[in-house]
Amino acid sequence: MTGAPVRRDGPAIALRTLKERSRSGRRAWSLPELDVPGADVSDAHRRRQTADLPEVSETDIVRHFTRLSQINYGVDTGFYPLGSCSMKYNPKVAETVAALAGFQRLHPHQPEETLQGALELLWRLERALCEITGMARATFQPPAGASGELTGLMIMRAFHTKNGNPRTKIIIPDSAHGTNPASVTLSGYRAVQVPSDRRGLVDLAALQGLVDGDVAGLMLTNPNTLGLFEEEIEGVAAAMHRVGALLYYDGANLNAIMGRARPGDMGFDIVHMNTHKTFATPHGGGGPGAGPVAVSARLEPFLPTPVVGFDEESGRYFWDHDRPDSIGRVHGFNGNFGVLVRAFAYVFGHGRDGLREVGERAVLNANYLARRVNDAYPLAFPGQPMHEFVATARSFRKYGVRAMDIAKRLIDLGFHPSTVYFPLIVEEAMMVEPTETESKETLDAFAEAMLQAAKEAEEHPDLLHDAPLTTPVRRLDEARAARQPKLRW
Ligand SMILES: *Cc1c(COP(=O)(O)O)cnc(C)c1O
């Protein structure tokens, strides 16, 4: 099985700290006899008591840290079907390129003439991302998707303010990622929720009832967080444009449509991309990422400053600070450059056809998996999913089993669980995103594990309530673990 659990010598040893392994006099080093005169250290600089450090051998240390590293679960150790995250395998060639000394050892304060290669890389990446999204120009400063959202909303405010009225409201579907309403609030707008209809798409009639001259814009994910393509996107765009509102595209799901459809052609003016989801860079655990924001020509003047400029006459690239309508800086220096180098390697390594194929395979894999588990885990909405699907574990409630129990059991069966309880509008949601990089064998093994958990839910519900049984730390009170983390023994 692809996601086979790492070998562990049982919880007791795995959790033993170096301190607990300590034995008086044991050492991980040895030094030759002193054969030079000793130096005097004044009393003032001498310890009064010996340092209370673990006394361990080299094998103790190596095994301790190796074991800790194996308890970790990552894309390089197993299948990682978290929905709304695109936990794909990231090609190592992108890491190699980002580690080239010419990129890695740059300093952002270097003179421009010594940064020509880096600036050209950003310039060419910007052109590529604009072509993929159907936009005019982009900024690389935001270090993540959420930060891109805030940047996009600041641009939206600057645009409306320039036109005489910043307006007050942003419309967001009830299926949206939590960062959307958070960004709206941070940017000083009020979030207004539009419901999803029975198909899981934006309810167009309800939207029309919400649109007025106070609406600054709409934030939309497409395919949405249910994994469904917003079929009436043109109607949605028309409703917004009628009152002069802007459309913001949350590009976290761009991998589903790249090479086939472009937000710019759907009527969007602002797009953020999560390069760490769509274009390589391992992520999780909080970073690092990059959330470039691309905009249509009419919003270009408001982009953060500086942007990369190119002087055709001299053939030189430069930082363009001369932008009077810019919203200013949103990040120190120019974003997470190393992440952008990985994105460049990924985009140009795949090329136009390759990127299209990435999207097609992601969609194929998600649909294959959805079908395989459909009898036990029916889709929450009837439409055909794109690169991820949202199923419901509602039917196991009659055995007292919840989506969380299934997720924990999947850990025992050797897999990282899917996303659960998101989107919020689906009861007992299980949101699965296999990504394009997984083989049929892996998908089959995961499907078997999900089906086994479903069977156990009916026959041995307590097995699921007790899961996970194979991990050093068993089931946690997750709210407390986040609020009062225990960070030391
Ligand atoms: C991941 C995600 C975000 C936030 O992106 P980060 O890079 O994690 O800040 C926003 N919207 C959607 C739909 C997402 O999946």
Is residue 169 lining ligand 1, measured as CB closer than 6 Å? no
pLDDT band at 471 (very low <50, low <70, confident <90, very high): confident
Q: What atom in ligand 1 is closest to the CA of residue 221?
A: 13
In angstroms, the CA 247 to CA 157 distance is 12
Asked whether 225 lines ligand 1 (CB < 6 A), one says yes
CA distance 190 to 146: 17
Of all protein residues, whose CA lies closest to atom 3 belonging to ligand 1?
145
Q: What is the mean pLDDT of residues 119-128?
A: 98
Instruction: Give the Å distance between the CA of 145 and the centre of ligand 1.
Output: 5
Q: Tell how far the Cα of 147 is from the centroid of ligand 1, in angstroms.
A: 9
What average pLDDT score do residues 407-423 get?
96
Mutation pick for ligand 1 pocket among 85, 141, 153, 177 (CB with most ligand atoms within 8 Å): 177
- Across-strand partners of 28? none
**Ligand 1 atom closest to 225 (CA):** 13
Q: pTM of the full predicted structure?
A: 0.89
Residue 447 pLDDT: 98
pLDDT of residue 429: 98
Say if residue 2's pLDDT is above 70. no
Across the chain, what does the average pLDDT equal?
Answer: 93
Q: Whose CA is nearest to atom 14 of ligand 1?
A: 252
What is the pLDDT confidence band of residue 74, given thresholds at 50, 70 and 90?
A: confident
Hey, which of 179, 270, 293 would you mutate to test ligand 1's pocket, going by the most ligand atoms within 8 Å of its Cβ?
179
Ligand 1 atom 15: residue of nearest CA? 84
> Which token pair is 221?
């994910």
Ligand 1 neighbourhood includes 146 CB (under 6 angstroms)? yes
Percent of the chain with pLDDT over 70: 96
Dump pLDDT digits (tens) for 340-377.
Answer: 999 999 999 999 999 999 999 999 999 999 999 999 99
The alpha-helical segments, DSSP class H, found in 215-336 are 233-242, 275-278
pLDDT confidence of 268, banded at 50, 70, 90? Answer: very high
Q: Which backbone phi and psi does 343 adopt, to 5 degrees?
A: -60, -40
Q: Where in the chain is the domain with CATH 3.90.1150.10?
A: 356-483
Q: Is 87 in the pocket of ligand 1 (CB under 6 A)?
A: no
Residue 454 and residue 460: Cα distance in Å, rounded?
Answer: 10
Is the shortest distance between the CB of 250 and ligand 1 below 6 Å?
Answer: yes
The residue with greater pLDDT, 489 or 221, is 221
| CATH T-level assignment (fold) for domain 92-350 | Aspartate Aminotransferase; domain 2 (3.40.640)
Q: What burial letters (b/e) apply to 10-42, b meaning 16+ CB within 10 Å?
A: eeeebeeeeeebeeeeeeeeeeeeeeeeeeeee
Confidence tier at 76 by pLDDT (50, 70, 90): confident
Q: How confident is the model at residue 336 (pLDDT cuts 50, 70, 90)?
A: very high
Whether ligand 1 lies within 6 angstroms of the CB of 145 is answered as yes
Largest CA distance in the chain: 89
For ligand 1, the distance from its centroid to the CA atom of residue 223, given in whole angstroms, is: 13
Give me the half-sphere count of Cα atoms (radius 13 Å) on the Cβ side of residue 259: 17
What integer is the mean pLDDT of 55-62?
93
Residue range 272-293, pLDDT digits in tens: 999 999 998 888 766 689 999 9
pLDDT at position 3 over 50: no
Nearest CA to ligand 1 atom 5: 145
- Choose among 301, 305, 337: nearest CA to 115: 337
| Residue 13 confidence class, pLDDT cut points 50, 70, 90 | low
Which amino acid residue places its CA nearest to atom 8 of ligand 1? 145
Residues in the chain, total: 489
Query: Is the beta carbon of 84 within 6 A of some atom in ligand 1?
Result: yes
- Output the CA–CA distances (angstroms, integers) from residue 151 to 9, 271, 330, 331, in the order listed: 48, 10, 7, 10
> Which pLDDT score, from 0 to 100, does residue 16 have?
80
Identify the band that residue 178 occupies on the pLDDT scale cut at 50, 70 and 90: very high
The three-state secondary structure class of 166 is coil
Nearest CA owner, ligand 1 atom 2: 252
Q: What is the pLDDT of residue 11?
A: 53
Ligand 1 atom nearest to 149, measured from its CA: 10
| Band of pLDDT at residue 216, cut at 50, 70 and 90 | very high
What confidence category does residue 15 fall into, taking pLDDT thresholds of 50, 70 and 90?
A: low
Ligand 1 pocket check for 271: Cβ under 6 Å: no
If you count DSSP H runs as helices and E runs as strands, how many of each does the chain have, helices first?
16, 12
- How high is the pLDDT of residue 70? 81
Q: Residue whose CA is closest, atom 6 of ligand 1?
A: 145
Q: How far apart are CA 307 and CA 320, in angstroms?
A: 5
Return the pLDDT at 4: 44
| Centre of ligand 1 from the C-alpha of residue 177, in Å | 7
Which phi and psi angles does 193 have, rounded to 5°?
Answer: -90, 130
Q: What is the mean pLDDT of residues 17-33?
A: 92
DSSP code per residue over 429-476? EEEE---TT--HHHHHHHHHHHHHHHHHHHH-HHHHHH---SSSS---
**Mutate which of 220, 250, 271, 390 to test ligand 1's pocket (most atoms within 8 Å of Cβ)?**
250
Ligand 1 pocket test: pick from 147, 254, 255, 274 the residue with the most ligand atoms within 8 Å of its Cβ.
274
- CATH 3.40.640.10-classified regions of the chain: 92-350
Q: How far is the CA of 146 from the centre of ligand 1 (A)?
A: 6
| 356-483: CATH class | alpha beta
